[in-house]
A and B are shown apart, each in its own frame.
Chain A
């Protein structure tokens, strides 16, 4: 039986009817058309589906949709403000942290959650924040550089 939920999505209030068995990822991609968040595995094992819920990085592919009620959710589409890219997005582009790009949205969201909570993270903090985001292309080094460059810049 469908139920209605209301939550804040990328700074706008959204009300939508959902099936209880949907995951948050399904709602975002298939119903709301926000395909920036990716499904890499469906089991919470790769981080490609990472979004930020109430300030914390979460795997949306295993997040029950009804728990989104009342939450503040940010996806990759919500980062750019007034056409201006978020510093993290700019850094990823400039530092060569993007190759095939499939892991990139999730990776950026994990980094964003970190920097919002801790604007001055150590390299270990950065690694901890993105340990749940798998990347097969870049070898991670330039990703760490990108996040570091934003951290020190702030």
Chain B
């Protein structure tokens, strides 16, 4: 690519100064005049009948302005994609995080006291906490309307003929793997402020990752409240972490809306850390049965996967993770025959939603661990097996994904080289190496009917640019990437680009910050708008400079003729001339980029994304055989990113994602007992600290994806997709035991070592 001035450079994040000085306004920091504080009362039991709710004492407490229960909500109003979740519960509670009542009061403290004054009478019911129990005959049906604890969801993917392929396989490996609930642990907890104006139009200050879709959800809510045809405006505060946790609208947001409606005042609800742990929705846990086969030469013949997902008490995006799990199941490596079924089962546990990777880490753990098992059976080095079956550019996978750019082989080779695979593999002396690869969407994902993002660009009188984008920044740096693209196209310094991305009143539509799509889709939208306005500028300047637009260029904010550089005019001057005159013109451009990808058809096939991201992670571990503790000596994270528009931010995603993956593999677990969260705090739920960071080497492989802005693909999620199986595979190389159930704790490792020694003695 030609000399790029801004794209490809390590540009610091645009809002970093605000954050580093403490000036950034997170939802916790925002105060509005007359604002009330909302607080929610949660269920005492995971499964019970609500016999009576007495809010009288709470209502009488001075400072309390409203107390609401289910009777204040529209009777059949339900949220969640299966519409099975009433924001305030009545009749029955199905989990410990069920919202029973809420108050709005003049201070946080009064609100908390009011909650303690609400008296609820329950009749406890026996709870079901195991999806296998919930599936049994005679198990109590948790949602009577549903008639079964197994959700009616169509998760079934069949490609080719798995049964036939089994017969024709030389080697088959089969096993069961399971993954745990882990949670996002955003440092900034969830929260919102709801307020109505005199005409009952709603403004929500929010942390959402999906402003346009949330707007839609709240319009539906207002309709249900009898407020038809009202506006909903979403203003995003600075977001203190997302990772998927803000990809759905939560009950507390509707409760805030209800309280704001009742009190006619702004109502703020902000979660405490305890609420953030037990009342937000974690990563979907899985039980996976998998078998894979290959022929004598190691070419994969089939992959069969059956999953059971604990859906919890209500339904959020966790129940849709199978649609993403199909990605690696059908298309990670070349596998001609694939069968996948998944069942989501209601229980009295917590319910799950999106979390970085959206099912891909869970599925890849099973696939890549089992692949190593297959390699062992076939007597082939796991590295070789992966190379033999690696995806290639131009391939069409069984799910009909069209692979355009593909750096899988390069990533695998980088990992092998930097880990010193041949030297270190197979020593079985407590040290070992392992690897795993990944495929993820990298060019948007048509999960909804639209995968689009809009951009509007407006020039001011001084050569500076305002870019209105639908894409939110959740800390990953989309604001900066968009500014870089616009600055590059317009030939202006990045300091002159202002990105506005947090107000639905001015920002165009975007489907949301998910599926690692923002650099690709929002980037392309910004690129499209920038190209359009550049043309407008050059067309208008051509009249001023009396030069053909095709001979004009802009550099350092000066428009000049390439034929005769003396013919020039500063951008700001040109802009003023263009409109500050009779018959003046306003310069503004818009572009809505909706990638040329496809929705799945009824068989879940179709080119979900315009391009796919690849990567491979390799790990060297040392296992303390006496204590079972696993130490990572070296970690290589190789990623095919198309093009690194901003290597600084990109590495940040790889380091951050990698460490989240390490936490997922080695230590994080939400411990539930009979439906209650036992470790909802930062001491007992252990996310990695700075001292837990191993030596990590990010490796950026650039395959120049044609459809991506300047060749870029997505990176937001891939960073933690292959971590757990890479570590599990390395542990197997080190001590010959395989842990199939995450997280890999010292207890599990030690128990497995002892079991193995026991076998040897016999």
Which A positions have Cβ atoms within 8 angstroms of B? 29, 34-43, 45-46, 48, 75-77, 79-80, 85, 89, 92-96, 98-105, 108, 127, 130-144
Selected contact of A131 from candidates B238, B652, B689, CB within 8 Å: B689
Selected contact of B238 from candidates A29, A75, A101, CB within 8 Å: A101
Q: Are B28 and A39 in contact (CB under 8 A)?
A: yes
> Considering the chains assembled together, what is the distance between the CA atoms of A84 and B313 in angstroms?
53
Q: List 20 A-B contacts (CB under 8 A).
A: A40-B682, A41-B273, A43-B682, A45-B683, A46-B187, A80-B21, A85-B17, A85-B20, A94-B12, A96-B10, A96-B651, A98-B20, A99-B13, A99-B475, A101-B19, A131-B690, A137-B187, A137-B241, A139-B655, A139-B656
Contacts of A96 in B (CB 8 A): 10, 12-13, 648-649, 651-652
A56 to chain B, nearest CB (A): 19
Q: Check: B184 CB closer than 8 A to any chain A CB.
A: yes
Selected contact of A139 from candidates B273, B477, B649, B693, CB within 8 Å: B693
> Considering the chains assembled together, what is the distance between the CA atoms of A61 and B131 in angstroms?
40
Known: A79-B21, A85-B20, A101-B24. A142 touches B690 (CB 8 A): no
Contacts of A43 in B (CB 8 A): 273, 681-683
Within 8 A of A (CB), among B642-692: 648-649, 651-652, 654-660, 681-683, 687, 689-691
Q: 8 shortest A-B CB distances, which residue pairs?
A: A36-B22, A101-B19, A100-B475, A139-B655, A102-B240, A76-B22, A45-B682, A139-B659
Q: Check: B15 CB closer than 8 A to any chain A CB.
A: yes
> Considering the chains assembled together, what is the distance between the CA atoms of A85 and B453 in angstroms?
36
A74 to chain B, nearest CB (A): 12
Closest to B689 in A: A131
Q: Are B655 and A101 in contact (CB under 8 A)?
A: no
> Considering the chains assembled together, what is the distance between the CA atoms of A96 and B12 in angstroms?
6
Q: Are B273 and A93 in contact (CB under 8 A)?
A: no
A-B contact count (CB 8 A): 165
A62 to chain B, nearest CB (A): 13
Contacts of A79 in B (CB 8 A): 21
B130 to chain A, nearest CB (A): 30
Contacts of B696 in A (CB 8 A): 139, 141
> Considering the chains assembled together, what is the distance between the CA atoms of A37 and B655 in angstroms?
25
> Considering the chains assembled together, what is the distance between the CA atoms of A89 and B475 in angstroms?
17
B91 to chain A, nearest CB (A): 34
Within 8 A of A (CB), among B111-128: none
Q: Are B186 and A143 in contact (CB under 8 A)?
A: no
> Considering the chains assembled together, what is the distance between the CA atoms of A57 and B26 in angstroms?
23
> Considering the chains assembled together, what is the distance between the CA atoms of A2 and B288 in angstroms?
59
Selected contact of A92 from candidates B16, B475, B649, CB within 8 Å: B16
> Considering the chains assembled together, what is the distance between the CA atoms of A133 and B273 in angstroms?
15
Contacts of B240 in A (CB 8 A): 38, 100-102
> Considering the chains assembled together, what is the distance between the CA atoms of A36 and B683 in angstroms?
24
A117 to chain B, nearest CB (A): 18
Closest to A135 in B: B187
Selected contact of A93 from candidates B17, B474, B476, B655, CB within 8 Å: B17
Most chain A beta carbons < 10 A, residue from B185, B474, B689: B689
Contacts of A42 in B (CB 8 A): 272-273
Q: Are B475 and A101 in contact (CB under 8 A)?
A: yes
Q: Are A102 and B21 in contact (CB under 8 A)?
A: no
> Considering the chains assembled together, what is the distance between the CA atoms of A4 and B656 in angstroms?
44
Q: Check: B621 CB closer than 8 A to any chain A CB.
A: no
Q: Are B22 and A137 in contact (CB under 8 A)?
A: no
Contacts of A85 in B (CB 8 A): 17, 20-21
Q: Check: B243 CB closer than 8 A to any chain A CB.
A: yes
Q: Are A93 and B22 in contact (CB under 8 A)?
A: no
Within 8 A of A (CB), among B1-58: 10, 12-13, 15-26, 28-29
Q: Are A140 and B690 in contact (CB under 8 A)?
A: yes
Q: Check: B188 CB closer than 8 A to any chain A CB.
A: yes
Within 8 A of A (CB), among B329-378: none
Q: Check: B142 CB closer than 8 A to any chain A CB.
A: no
Known: A46-B187, A101-B475. A139 touches B658 (CB 8 A): yes
Contacts of A93 in B (CB 8 A): 12-13, 16-17, 20
Most chain B beta carbons < 10 A, residue from A130, A133, A135: A135
Q: Are B241 and A102 in contact (CB under 8 A)?
A: yes
Q: Are B188 and A104 in contact (CB under 8 A)?
A: no
Q: Are B687 and A136 in contact (CB under 8 A)?
A: yes
Known: A95-B648, A98-B16. 17 other contacts (CB 8 A): A36-B21, A40-B188, A43-B682, A79-B21, A80-B21, A96-B13, A101-B15, A101-B16, A101-B20, A132-B689, A134-B185, A134-B187, A136-B186, A137-B656, A141-B651, A142-B648, A144-B690
Contacts of B239 in A (CB 8 A): 100
Contacts of A143 in B (CB 8 A): 690
B700 to chain A, nearest CB (A): 14
Contacts of B658 in A (CB 8 A): 139
Most chain B beta carbons < 10 A, residue from A99, A100, A136: A100
> Considering the chains assembled together, what is the distance between the CA atoms of A132 and B657 in angstroms?
20
Closest to B20 in A: A89
A32 to chain B, nearest CB (A): 13
Known: A77-B21, A96-B12, A134-B687. A102 touches B187 (CB 8 A): yes
Selected contact of B185 from candidates A34, A136, A138, CB within 8 Å: A136
Most chain B beta carbons < 10 A, residue from A29, A41, A75, A134: A41
The interface bits of chain B over 254-288 (1 if a CB of A lies within 8 angstroms of the residue's CB, else 0) are 00000000000000000011000000000000000
Known: A38-B26, A136-B241. A98 touches B187 (CB 8 A): no
> Considering the chains assembled together, what is the distance between the CA atoms of A101 and B696 in angstroms?
22
> Considering the chains assembled together, what is the distance between the CA atoms of A9 and B523 in angstroms?
44
Closest to A48 in B: B187
Q: Are B22 and A105 in contact (CB under 8 A)?
A: yes
Q: Are B272 and A127 in contact (CB under 8 A)?
A: no
The interface bits of chain B over 597-627 (1 if a CB of A lies within 8 angstroms of the residue's CB, else 0) are 0000000000000000000000000000000
> Considering the chains assembled together, what is the distance between the CA atoms of A122 and B691 in angstroms?
14
Most chain B beta carbons < 10 A, residue from A101, A103, A127, A143: A101
Contacts of B474 in A (CB 8 A): 100
> Considering the chains assembled together, what is the distance between the CA atoms of A92 and B19 in angstroms?
10
Contacts of B660 in A (CB 8 A): 136, 139
Contacts of A95 in B (CB 8 A): 648
Closest to B19 in A: A101
Closest to A108 in B: B20
Contacts of A94 in B (CB 8 A): 12
> Considering the chains assembled together, what is the distance between the CA atoms of A130 and B693 in angstroms?
13
> Considering the chains assembled together, what is the distance between the CA atoms of A62 and B255 in angstroms?
30
B682 to chain A, nearest CB (A): 4
A24 to chain B, nearest CB (A): 15
Q: Are A35 and B29 in contact (CB under 8 A)?
A: yes
Closest to A42 in B: B273
A121 to chain B, nearest CB (A): 13
B33 to chain A, nearest CB (A): 14
Contacts of A38 in B (CB 8 A): 26, 28, 187-188, 240
Q: Are A100 and B682 in contact (CB under 8 A)?
A: no
> Considering the chains assembled together, what is the distance between the CA atoms of A101 and B17 in angstroms?
10
B715 to chain A, nearest CB (A): 13
Q: Are B656 and A138 in contact (CB under 8 A)?
A: yes
> Considering the chains assembled together, what is the distance between the CA atoms of A98 and B29 in angstroms?
18
Selected contact of B655 from candidates A41, A131, A138, CB within 8 Å: A138
Contacts of A37 in B (CB 8 A): 22
> Considering the chains assembled together, what is the distance between the CA atoms of A138 and B476 in angstroms?
9
> Considering the chains assembled together, what is the distance between the CA atoms of A99 and B473 in angstroms?
10
> Considering the chains assembled together, what is the distance between the CA atoms of A108 and B369 in angstroms?
40
The interface bits of chain B over 467-509 (1 if a CB of A lies within 8 angstroms of the residue's CB, else 0) are 0000000111100000000000000000000000000000000
Known: A96-B649, A101-B16, A138-B655. A40 touches B187 (CB 8 A): yes
Q: Are B188 and A100 in contact (CB under 8 A)?
A: yes
Contacts of A139 in B (CB 8 A): 652, 654-660, 693, 696
Closest to B18 in A: A101
B355 to chain A, nearest CB (A): 12
A60 to chain B, nearest CB (A): 13
Selected contact of A134 from candidates B29, B651, B657, B689, CB within 8 Å: B689
B17 to chain A, nearest CB (A): 6
